[in-house]
Amino acid sequence: MDKVNLIDNAAIEKMRELAGRAQVGFFQTYLKHAPSHGRPMVAVKVDDAGRFWFFSKNNSRKNHEIRLSNKVQLIFSRPHSLEFLEVYGEARIVRDEKKMKELWTPSLRNWIPGGIEEPDTTLICVKPIEAHYWDTKHNTAVLLFKGVLGALTGITMNGDIEGKLKIK
C-alpha cells in the first residue's frame, strides 16, 4: 500500500471527491461516550476551506449532542470501489438563511419537509481536525485481475493508496 499524504488544496479536493462519490456518510456525535451515536447523512457540500456542510433540525438529537460536545466523526465509504474517508472534526450549528439558500436542493425535502423556511432548520458545519483516506489507483476490474494474478503467482500486487489529509 502506497502512502500519499495530501495538504491544503489537494487534501480538500480528495475529501470533496471521496465524500461526493459516496454521497451519504455516517455522522457520529457524542464521541466521549460509548457507544457514540451515529446516523447516515448527506454532506451537501465540502467548501473551499474543506468544511463539510449538512442540513439538520435544531431540535434533533444530533444538534443536542453537538451542543454538549462539538467533536464529531464523519465516515464515507464506497466499498465496491475501495474508497474510504474518515474525518474527525469540530461541528457548529449554523442558522444562516443566505447559506441555506445556497446549499438547498429539492431532494432535501425528504428529511426537511418545511424547507429552509421552517424555523427549526439549521446547518451543521464540520471543520476537519484530522482526516485519513484509503483509495485505489485503479478501477475495480484491474484490482480484481491483480488479486487473482497475485493469488496465482504469490506476488503481492497492491494498488491501494492511503494517507493523511491536512488543511492548514
Name the helix (H) or strand (E) containing 26: strand 24-29
Q: What amino acid occupies position 74?
A: L
Give the C-alpha separation, 60 to 12, whole Å.
28
Task: List, as one string, the DSSP characters of 104-164.
Answer: --GGGGGT-TTGGGSTTEEEEEEEEEEEEEEEESS-HHHHHHHHHHHHHH------EEEEE
3-state secondary structure of 102: helix
Name the helix (H) or strand (E) containing 61: helix 61-68
Q: By percentage, how much of the chain surpasses pLDDT 70?
A: 86
Q: By percentage, how much of the chain surpasses pLDDT 90?
A: 74
Distances (CA, A) of 62 to 59, 91, 158: 8, 10, 39
Instruction: Say if CB 42 and CB 54 are below 8 A apart.
Output: yes
Whether 137 has a pLDDT exceeding 90, the answer reads no
In degrees and rounded to multiples of 5, residue 142 shows phi and psi of: -65, -40
For 40-75, the pLDDT digits (tens) are 999 999 999 999 999 999 999 999 999 999 999 999
Give 151's pLDDT tier (boundaries 50, 70, 90): low
Whose cell is 457540500? That residue is 45
3-state secondary structure of 9: helix
Over the chain, what is the mean pLDDT? 89
Whether 141 has a pLDDT exceeding 90, the answer reads no
Instruction: Say if CB 18 and CB 84 are below 8 A apart.
Output: yes
pTM: 0.86
- Please give the pLDDT value at position 146: 47
